[in-house]
Structure 1
């Protein structure tokens, strides 16, 4: 008769292995609980996966169908949006004979609008005139349908040197330019046609002239308000302002 082996210790290693895995799990949970997550960076990671999924879907099924989403924005879409803005403003300018008061220039990824200062403000004032309000209403109407394709709308205020031989008082010059730019920015923001975080106001004072200071005609050209509208970058998940703050927060950590 065969003798039976005593004990059944063949499975004891599984108990040891299970304890080790449990301890490792507790260790990683502890590490996670002590870590901090940058919400902006996490959003970028999630957005990158979404973008990859969209591209994979389009590669598999050909051109996308249905309504266009933010992940499907292309450079052609942005260019077309800027074309529509420039076209609407040019039509308004020609219809109302405003070529001397406003000019529109379009580049590859921007629309640049220049307004003569006299149609917006009087003398050394930064109170917006009715003529300026009417022009800004048209700007608002032009950008409203393209809001999601606009990266930034920068409003720039300029003055002119009153005395050809002597620069303006810096305090008066800077505050006047900044206040005028801010007044225009506030007016556009209150129209609720573009996200407020896309609006930026800058006062350059007399230091970005487009003409001389020797006579009234030249000085009048320097007194102006400019608006630069830049389109979204389809290769980026966030606009330039968000990108800057994301990088800065990462550096601070």
Structure 2
């Protein structure tokens, strides 16, 4: 009896590898099935596969990768508190390109492309008004022609719900008046007046707006000719990208 029992145990041990082999083949089949599904981008079929796999293993949501073209790694937008994905950021960039193109078409059609420049980088869209397009020299009151230009460009500026930052700049010619003792006050007044105008006239939410004056200290050209000084006398409307807005939100705020 003991010899028969020993032979029976040996027989069981020899066949046990089949269980592991069957598990391995099953898992290998699932892997190739997943790879095949990923090669043919079909979100519905992929979701069905994912659900079926989840039913089998009980952990499909953690083992099956997201379907191609589906939502990618999420990032949090500090400015709005909403979650943006890589795909959403790419869509935002594409939207920026469309807005930039429309703005450029407008400035060219109105003959403003020499004094109103539209640029785009990773921080968003920067609309630069140089010379006396918006403000007369030494003044911070919006001119009538400025209001017309802003009215025409507002649909483009406001076609995406991103933060707007207004920056005022001057040339290096000193100003000393009772209202503007220096270029600091002049550049800041121009920025804040435009911020207030956009808020009051076009009902842009104040939370989206910010303004800053930089005086003469951020020139884009040498202050050596009348033409170059006109370039430095500028106001910039910046449509911030989500990434730039998040970076702004993370900057330490001054304590009152």
TM > 0.5 fold call: yes
Q: Tell me which interval the TM-score lies in, with the shorter structure as reference length.
A: 0.5 to 0.7
In 2, Cα distance between equivalents of 1:214 and 1:70: 47
Pick closer, same or farther for the CA change 1:61–1:106 going to 2, 3 Å.
closer
The total of aligned residue pairs comes to 180
| 1:96 matched residue in structure 2 | 110
TM-score under structure 1 length normalisation: 0.60
Range that drifts further, 130-139 or 196-205 = 130-139
Pick closer, same or farther for the CA change 1:193–1:92 going to 2, 3 Å.
farther
- Extract unaligned runs of 5+ from structure 2: 1-60, 72-81
In 2, Cα distance between equivalents of 1:62 and 1:155: 36
In 2, Cα distance between equivalents of 1:159 and 1:239: 28
* CA RMSD, Structure 1 to Structure 2 (Å): 3.3
Q: How does 1:1-253 map to 2 (within 5 A)?
A: 59=66, 63=70, 74-147=88-161, 150=162, 152-162=163-173, 171-192=181-202, 194-233=204-243, 239-240=246-247, 242-244=249-251
In 1, Cα distance between equivalents of 2:185 and 2:132: 18
- Deviation of 1:173 (Å): 1.2
Task: Tell me the SS of whatever aligns to 1:156.
Answer: strand
In 1, Cα distance between equivalents of 2:223 and 2:160: 38
- Deviation of 1:197 (Å): 1.4
Pick closer, same or farther for the CA change 1:123–1:168 going to 2, 3 Å.
closer
Pick closer, same or farther for the CA change 1:62–1:75 going to 2, 3 Å.
closer
- Larger Rg computed on CA atoms: 2
Task: Tell me the SS of whatever aligns to 1:177.
Answer: helix
In 1, Cα distance between equivalents of 2:151 and 2:199: 11
Higher relative contact order (CA 8 A, sep 6+): 1
TM-score under structure 2 length normalisation: 0.59
Task: Tell me the SS of whatever aligns to 1:125.
Answer: coil
